[in-house]
Amino acid sequence: MTDSLGQHLQKSLHTIKKANWYRQEQKITDLSGCTITIDGQRMINFASNDYLGLATDIRLKQAAMDAVERYGTGSTGSRLLSGHRTLHGELERAIASFKQTEEALVFSSGYLANLGTISALMGKKDLILEDEYNHSSLKNGAKLSQAHRIEYEHLNCQNLIEKLIQVRSQYRHCLIVTDSVFSMDGDVSPLPQLLDIAQKFDCWLMVDEAHGTGVLGKNGAGCLEHFEIKSERIIQIGTLSKAVGSLGGYVAGNKVLIEFLRNRCATWIYTTALSPADTAAALAGINIIRSEAHRRHNLWTNINLLKELFNQTNLKIFPSDSAILCLPLEDASQGLLISAKVRSHGFYVPAIRPPTVPTSRLRFSLMATHEINHLQELIKALIQ
Ligand SMILES: Cc1ncc(COP(=O)(O)O)c(C=O)c1O
């Protein structure tokens, strides 16, 4: 006889707990910036994706409040029916200008942008090559597309080329998909080499700039700007929920790509449009990223300082070229223990464990608003 649903789920939860993979929400009770209050304990926050500190910026808050006053809270329908406001168009033009593309399309989240775009572009006769450490939304988008999927070794262009030589000719279209900054490692994809490979093997290249936008590039536009590369083959994708300080996702590319997605992308067509408040806050966030370079400079000062402080210890972090630094751990139980200890010293640093990542690690994400003593005290706590 098969288990009841309850029994089956209890068994699975038991296995998850035994492996130290069990996860729970943290109860945050105040404004979350570079400090955070969880369950009444105020701590320095090293877990936020709000890299530039914009999520609590008065101008984003005011833009959101003005949008609520003008348009109400919900957007009341999908973009093609009753959900489109002039604000959405303004935000899309701002993203296209920021990303130097003809057009952009805004989604209700980055996850939906990734799921929908990949599955709209690719089909059963096509091939998707993905970095093995790509974000869940990219992997699930590829699954949903029903294209043939192959993972190549993390950042390994030679391995990608070998796979392409073996199978490229058997498929119609081919899409290479990669995070620009890997969210759980902090390293950066070799985009110039990937573009060369895409050209050589007639592939498109999709780059998820979730953790690159606002952090990398001369104007904060991301990794593509950092490497100064542009191509009709590239599809840029990203989120408005990290350095931009709001919520939502986007695709940026040429006119025909965006026109196609407006007509074929299920996660854009069949869902309620991004709320007016989130849309207005994202627009304000992008304008600030473009006009206030000092925020990015402060962030990089903090990144370089924390790396330097780690260098002076025997704590060896993963190589990183971003605001994400990771300290490898033996296993999940060590991760939980160290995270709890550091927390007792007043620092919130989550342990990232399987199945999110293959091996456990402490993940530090830096903000422009961290102060020097936050970083120095963090290192002291880690050494203890
Ligand atoms: C690389 C990457 N892509 C996509 C997403 C999804 O973005 P969103 O939070 O807007 O759904 C995330 C994080 O959440 C991410 O880290």
> How much distance in Å is there from the Cα of 166 to the middle of ligand 1?
31
Q: 248 with 315, same domain?
A: no
| 258 shares a domain with 133 | yes
d(CA 270, CA 265): 8
pLDDT at residue 49, rounded to an integer: 97
User: Poorest-confidence range of 18-27, 66-75, 108-117, 327-336?
Assistant: 18-27
Q: Clarify whether residues 100 and 229 are in a common domain.
A: yes
Q: Is the dihedral of CA 174, 197, 98, 187 positive or negative?
A: positive
Q: Is 146 part of a structural domain of the chain? A: yes
Take atom 10 of ligand 1 and give the residue whose Cα is closest: 110
Give yes or no: residues 323 and 198 share one domain: no
Nearest CA residue ID for atom 15, ligand 1: 210
How far, in Å, is the centroid of ligand 1 from the Cα of 367? 17
Same domain, 138 and 240: yes
pLDDT at 197: 98
Query: Is the same domain home to 286 and 349?
Result: no
Is residue 16 situated within a structural domain? no
pLDDT band at 248 (very low <50, low <70, confident <90, very high): very high
Residue 2 above 80 pLDDT? Answer: no
Quote the pLDDT of residue 23.
86
Residue 30's pLDDT is 83
Q: Which CATH number is 347's domain given? A: 3.90.1150.10
What is the C-alpha separation between 114 and 365, in angstroms, rounded?
A: 23
Mutate to test the pocket of ligand 1, among 48, 109, 111 (most ligand atoms within 8 A of CB): 111
Give me the chain's average pLDDT, please: 96
Query: Measured between alpha carbons, how far is 106 from 128 in angstroms, rounded to an integer?
Result: 24
Distance 147 CA to ligand 1 centre (A): 22
- pLDDT value at residue 1: 57
Which tokens sit at 205? 């290249």
Atom of ligand 1 nearest to the CA of 137: 4
Tell which wins on pLDDT, 20 or 101. 101
- CATH code, domain carrying 141: 3.40.640.10
The pLDDT tens digits for 265-288 are 999 999 999 999 999 999 999 999
Using the atom order of ligand 1, give the atom closest to the CA of residue 111: 11
Please tell me the distance between residue 135's alpha carbon and the centre of ligand 1 in angstroms.
7
Kindly state the tokens that stand for 33. Answer: 């910036």
**Total number of domains in the chain:** 2
* 207 inside domain: yes
Same domain, 40 and 162: no
Best-predicted range by mean pLDDT (108-112, 338-342, 380-384): 108-112
Same structural domain, 125 and 91: yes
Residue 120 pLDDT exceeds 60: yes
Tokens 């080499």 sit on residue: 193
In the DSSP assignment, the letter for residue 55 is G
Q: Indicate the residue among 255, 271, 291 that finishes a domain.
A: 291
Q: Which DSSP helix (H) or strand (E) runs through 363?
A: strand 361-365
Are residue 274 and residue 340 in the same domain, yes or no? no
Q: Which pLDDT value is given to residue 371?
A: 97
The answer on pLDDT for 60 being more than 70 is yes
Per residue in 187-241, pLDDT (tens digit) is 999 999 999 999 999 999 999 999 999 999 999 999 999 999 999 999 999 999 9
Does 125 share its domain with 155? yes
Ligand 1 center–CA 3 separation, angstroms: 35
* Mutational test site, ligand 1, from 112, 137, 177, max ligand atoms within 8 Å of CB: 137
Asked whether residue 5 is domain-assigned, the answer is no
Atom of ligand 1 nearest to the CA of 182: 1
pLDDT for position 29 = 85
Same domain flag for 274 and 356: no
Q: What is the DSSP string of 88-152?
A: HHHHHHHHHHHHTSSEEEEES-HHHHHHHHHHHH--TT-EEEEETT--HHHHHHHHHHT-EEEEE
Ligand 1, closest atom to CA 183?
Answer: 16
**In a domain? residue 11:** no
Nearest-CA neighbor of 238 among 56, 69, 101, 379?
101
**Does residue 18 lie within any of the structural domains?**
no
Query: Does 8 fall in a domain?
Result: no
Domain final residue, candidates 268, 291, 314: 291
Q: What letter represents residue 253's amino acid? A: G
Looking at the structure, tell me whether residues 35 and 68 fall in a common domain. no
pLDDT average, residue stretch 345-363: 93
Contacts of 61 (CB under 8 A, 6+ apart): 281
Q: How far is the CA of 383 from the centre of ligand 1 (A)?
A: 32
Helices then strands (H, E): number in the chain?
14, 13
Which of residues 275, 291, 307 is at a domain's end?
A: 291
Q: Could you list the residue range(s) of the whole structural domain that residue 149 is in? A: 58-291
According to the model, what pLDDT value does residue 103 have?
98
CA-to-CA separations, 229 to 193, 195, 233, 257, 286, in angstroms, rounded:
11, 9, 11, 19, 21
